[in-house]
Amino acid sequence: MPKKKNILLPEETPAGKKEAAQEEQKSAKKPAAEKKTAAGKPAAPKSAAEKKPAAEKKTPAKKRAPAKKAAPVPAPAPVAEAAVPAEAALPELPQPRRSVAFIGSECYPFVKTGGLGDVMYALPKALAKLNCDVKVILPRYRCIPQKWQEKMIYRGSFTMDLCADGRSFYVGIMEYVWDGVVYDFIDNEEFFSYGSPYTNLVDDIPRFCYFGKAALAALNYMEWVPDIIHCHDWQAALVPVYLRTLFAGTALAGSKSVLTIHNLRFQGVYNIPTIQYWTNLPDYVFNKDALTQNWVDASMLKGGLTYCDRITTVSGTYAGEIQTEFFGDGLDAHLRYHSGKLRGIVNGIDVDQWDSRTDRLLAANYAETDAPAGKLANKLALQEQLGLEQNPGKMVLGLISRLTDQKGLDLVNAILPALVDGNTQVVVLGTGDARYEESFRQFENTYKGAVCAYIAYDEALAHRIYAGADALLVPSLFEPCGLTQLIAMRYGTVPVVRETGGLKDTVQPYNQFTNEGNGFSFDRYDAGLLLDAVNRAKTLYFTDRARWEEMVRRDMEKDVSWESSAWQYRGLYLELKP
C-alpha cells in the first residue's frame, strides 16, 4: 500500500473560504492557528462553531459606535442586527447532516444508457441541497468524453487483492467536484478500456466484481466513511455482500447499505465457479438464500438483496409487482421474504434540464399560461422537420422509447393503421429490436406524411417531440418507473399509459364527469384497450379543446422534480442512521 496522504474532505473547501473572508479582522497569529486545525480535523462542524463568536464580536462593535457620538442614532442598529439572521439562516438546512456514497455503473453527463444514469445524476444533487454530503463512485470508462476526463484530478492509487488465486489489480482514483457533489472514478485500463459501458456477461461479470470491491477499497483508502452506501442495480449489488464479509473488520463495517432496483429483469446471473473466482467470497454466501439461483448459478442482485439493510424500487406499484410471479423474474419468493425492508420511491426528473420555458432546443419557449400557442408553434416546426403534413388541426402522437417488447410496441404495431385516420399523425423515435425498427419504417413508407419513424436516438429531437406532440404513448408491459411520461407532462404533452409500475403511480386517469386527471390509461395488456385509451384522448382533444387545455396546464403544474423523492430517501437514511 502506498503512503497515505492527508486529504481534505469535500465539505472543507467552502468552510475554508468562509474562514479566509474573516481573516482581515483577525490578528496575524489566529489565521495560522486556523490553518493548522483545518488540516487535522473536518472543517464543516468547526466553521459553524467559529461563526457564532464572529457574529457576537460584530454586533457589540456596531452598538458601541452610536455611544461615542453622544447622540442616539437608531438607524444603524437594524442594519447590524440584519447580519445575524443572514448567518443564522444557514442552519435551517435539515439536521442532522448525513454522508452518502452512491455506487453505480453510469451517471449523466459522463456516461448514460438509460434511466439509471439520470437517477445517479439528479438524486445526489437533490440530496446535497438537503444537507447530505454526497460522493458518487463510477467506473472511469474510456468512452467518457474527453472534456470530462480532462477535468478529473488524481487522488491516489493502490493494488487490491481480488481473485481466489490471489491475483491483484491496480485501483486508481480520479476525482471531479461539480455542483455540490464529489465524483470519484475508479480507474483500471484492464476492465474499463472497452464497452460503452456494457458489452456482454462474459466480460461484464468480472469487471463489476472488481468494481464493487474497488469502490469500497477506495473509500477505505481515502479514509471517507459514509453513513450510508447506496448501490444501484446488479452492477453494484455485490457491494453489500463485500461490506458484510470481506470488509467486516474495516471502518466501513459501521456503514449501512441501501440497494435500489431499477429493473429486476437484469440480475447479473452467471455460473457459481466464475463468480467465486472473481470475488473470492467465502463459501457460505453461495447458498440458496443468498447468491445461489437455480442450484448452479449465482445471482449478484440476489446476493445484494440478501445482505443490504434496505431495498428500494423506483415506484410503489413496482415494489408490489415484483413480489408476484409474473413480474418477479424468479426472485418473487426471495423478495416476499425480504418484504419488510422493501419500499418504493418514485423517481423525479431534472426540472432544470427539462423546462419548456428555457429549453434552447425548442422552436418556441412557453409556460403554463401560453402553452396552447407555444405547443402549436413547436408542432408546426416538428411537422416541417420530419416531413409530415404541416397542419395545425392534426393531433400528433409521439413515441420515444427503446424499441423492445417491454415497451409494449407489439400493441402499437397492432393498432397503428387504425390510428392514422386522416386527423392524426404518429412520430416514433428510438432504436432497438430489428423487427420493430423494420415495422415502423414500413409504416412510414405506407403512410407518408402521416407517420415518421426516426430510427436513431437524437436528444435534440426528443426535446422537440416532447414539446410538439399533443400526446405521448407509453403502453409498457412493465415499467419500474418511467421518465418519458414525467418529461411529457413537464412539456404539456398528455400521456397515454398502461397502468403498471411508475406509470400507474404518476398518471391519474382522466375523469370526464369531474374533469380531473392528467392523462389516459388502460389496465390489461391488450391492443384493443390501448386503442380505446387513444380514442378517448382524441375525442377530448377534438370535441372539447378547453378541457384538453386545462389538462395540459395541470400536467405542466404537476411537481415532477426530485425534491419530494429526495426527502423520502433522506428519511430512509435517517431510519438506518438516526
- Output the 3-class SS for 151-175: CCEEEEEEEEECCCCCCEEEEEEEE
pLDDT band at residue 113 using 50, 70 and 90 as cut-offs: confident
Q: What are phi and psi of 27, to 5 degrees?
A: -75, 165
The reply to whether 177 falls in a domain is yes
The reply to whether 71 falls in a domain is no
State whether 242 and 387 are in the same domain.
no
The domain that holds 323 is classified in CATH as 3.40.50.2000
Whether residue 497 has pLDDT greater than 70: yes
State whether 109 and 165 are in the same domain.
yes
Q: Give the total number of structural domains in the chain.
A: 2
Question: Residue 46: enclosing H or E segment and its boundaries?
Answer: helix 43-69
- Which three three-digit cell numbers place residue 367? 409556460
The reply to whether 151 falls in a domain is yes
State whether 547 and 569 are in the same domain.
no
Provide the residue range defining the domain that includes 171.
98-348+565-576
DSSP string, 121-161: HHHHHHHHTTTEEEEEEEE--TTS-HHHHTT-EEEEEEEEE
Q: Average pLDDT over the chain, rounded to whole? A: 87
pLDDT digits (tens, 9 = 90+) for 498-536: 999 999 999 999 999 999 999 999 999 999 999 999 999
Give the C-alpha distances (Å, rounded to integers) separating 437 from 17, 198, 267, 403, 509. 55, 22, 27, 7, 30
The reply to whether 76 falls in a domain is no
Cα 531-533-539 angle, rounded to 5 deg: 100
Whether residue 297 has pLDDT greater than 60: yes
pLDDT digits (tens, 9 = 90+) for 264-286: 999 999 999 999 999 999 999 99
pLDDT band at residue 51 using 50, 70 and 90 as cut-offs: very low
The reply to whether 163 falls in a domain is yes
State whether 316 and 388 are in the same domain.
no
State whether 301 and 417 are in the same domain.
no
- The 10 Å CB-count burial string (b at 16+, else e) for 284-305 is ebbeeebbbbeeebbbbbbbbb
State whether 414 and 342 are in the same domain.
no
Query: Which residue's entry shows cell 474573516?
Result: 22
Whether the CB-CB separation of 280 and 163 falls below 8 Å is answered with: yes
- Which three three-digit cell numbers place residue 395? 393531433
pLDDT digits (tens, 9 = 90+) for 251-261: 999 999 999 99
Q: Hey, is 292 helix, strand or coil?
A: strand
Q: Considering only CA atoms, which of 126, 130, 300 is closest in space to residue 210?
A: 300
Distance CA(279)–CA(285), nearest Å, equals 11
Cα 138-143-148 angle, rounded to 5 deg: 70
List for the chain the helix, strand, coil content (%; round to 5): 50, 20, 35
Give the C-alpha distances (Å, rounded to integers) separating 279 from 89, 116, 161, 210. 48, 24, 9, 7
The reply to whether 316 falls in a domain is yes
